[in-house]
Amino acid sequence: MDALEAIRKRRSVRQYTGDPIPRQDLETIVDAGRLAATGSNRRPWDFIVVTDRALIDELKKAAEWMDKAGAIIAVVLDPSSRWWVEDGSAAIENMLIAATALGYGSCWLEGYTLPCEQEFKLLLGVPKEKRLLTLVPIGVPVEWPQIEKKKLSKVIHWEKYATVNS
């Protein structure tokens, strides 16, 4: 699958079969994350790949449906970098696209993760000064969601946002 095809196909997948994911594929997904654009080339990220069922059992407090994920990637950032959120977001999107290209479902799980950040940092041994931005569950999809996107014609503007009538 080429990059454009994967970008078009990507959707948040929240139902997995429970099948394991080969280590090589998980490495490919994280590799896509570490190759993302990053402000001032700071690369303020670390990625924790969690496949241990006992740890997944704890992390699924954030979202019960992660139970059947083959792995959960915890995205850790150094907030001393001015663009840590942007950098983390770029890395996450790259990983979602890479997962899609490999045929896996994934989801950007930030809203549900932040309330548990301190607890999960302790669980995963993340240093105090770092932030746990997001969990990215990866799994073999049960089905591929069909969710409508805004039409290109509704969001694209050529030259100016709007013509101002004087």
Ligand X SMILES: Cc1cc2nc3c(=O)[nH]c(=O)nc-3n(C[C@H](O)[C@H](O)[C@H](O)COP(=O)(O)O)c2cc1C
DSSP string for residues in 95-118: HHHHHHHTT-EE--B-TTTGGGHH
Site for ligand X in 3-32 (CB under 6 A): 11-12
Q: Which run of H or E residues covers position 73?
A: strand 71-77
Beta bridge partner(s), residue 48 = 74
Minimum distance of ligand X from residue 12's CB (angstroms): 4
Nearer to ligand X, 22 or 111 (CB): 111
According to the binding rule CB under 6 A, does residue 111 interact with ligand X? yes
Site for ligand X in 135-154 (CB under 6 A): 145, 147
Closest CA to 7 of 93, 97, 91: 97
Minimum distance of ligand X from residue 39's CB (angstroms): 18
Give the Cα separation of 69 and 78 in Å (integer). 26
Which residue's Cβ has the minimum distance to ligand X?
A: 111
How far, in Å, are 33, 96, 139 from residue 102 at the CA level? 14, 10, 11
Quick note: the x/- pattern for ligand X over 70-109, rule CB under 6 A, is -------------------------------------xxx
Minimum distance of ligand X from residue 157's CB (angstroms): 22
By the criterion CB under 6 A, which residues form the site for ligand X?
Answer: 11-12, 107-112, 145, 147
